Chains A and B, each alone.
Chain A
Amino acid sequence: DQQVKQNSPSLSVQEGRISILNCDYTNSMFDYFLWYKKYPAEGPTFLISISSIKDKNEDGRFTVFLNKSAKHLSLHIVPSQPGDSAVYFCAAPHGSGNTGKLIFGQGTTLQVKP
């Protein structure tokens, strides 16, 4: 049962344009979401998070939007830069309390073309 889904395996955008990466979830108990970025031969790095009490969180060029009724979140990168080319994972903590168990989506490979 894939509780966190990223249905687009890849996305290609032009430098300077907006990148929108999508993520859907099925477990209505999820109340916190994270986005990670992963370069080849490196571990994922934390990018941005959002609590379910918010519908938007912004950090520089990165903004995450949460639509609880649709069980959908998206990561917007504006403007996109070639260095943003990486695999992006959305994730949610599973279980109650302060859990170290993250459920990850399959990932979306973003390519930003110069």
Chain B
Amino acid sequence: KAGVTQTPRYLIKTRGQQVTLSCSPISGHRSVSWYQQTPGQGLQFLFEYFSETQRNKGNFPGRFSGRQFSNSRSEMNVSTLELGDSALYLCASSLPTPVNEQFFGPGTRLTVL
């Protein structure tokens, strides 16, 4: 069974630009969660989507948004990029239950210059 895939793996953007990251969950997984990992803050929860609906949201500004499609694939978007948005963005998917045993993709390394 294929794992969680994320594209692109690496991305370099400049301040003020916007970016869209993509995540394809494991087949049959309907929950997709996104996390930001930085050296200072560790892994921070961004949001979770289940059946195309945002079910949970972390404490991030509105510049961070996401969506989920009918095939469970998910995208996250960051608008008006800031230097502090440089991080590893991880996507995780899980079965409907237990949803908290999540399977992570390799991440997208975003660098904002």
Contacts and interface: CB of A to CB of B under 8 A. Distances in A.
Interface of A: 32, 34, 36, 41-46, 49, 89, 91, 93-95, 98-107
Interface of B: 4, 31-33, 35, 42-45, 48, 50, 55-56, 58, 90, 92, 94, 96-107
A100 B47 CA distance: 9
B99 A98 contact: yes
Q: Which 5 A-B pairs have the closest CB atoms?
A: A43-B104, A100-B48, A104-B43, A93-B100, A101-B56
Contacts of A46: 101-103
Given A95-B56, A103-B45, A104-B43, A44 B104 contact: yes
Contact of B55 (A89, A94, A100): A100
| Best-surrounded residue of A34, A100, A102 (most CB of chain B within 10 A) | A100
Contacts of B56: 94-95, 99-101
A7 to B, nearest CB: 13
A41 B42 contact: no
Contacts of B94: 100
A44 B90 contact: yes
Given A32-B100, A43-B105, A44-B104, A100 B33 contact: yes
A99 B100 CA distance: 6
Given A98-B97, A98-B98, A99-B56, A104 B103 contact: no
Contacts of B101: 34, 46, 49
Contacts of B106: 41-43
Nearest to A42: B106
Nearest to A107: B42
Contacts of A94: 45, 56
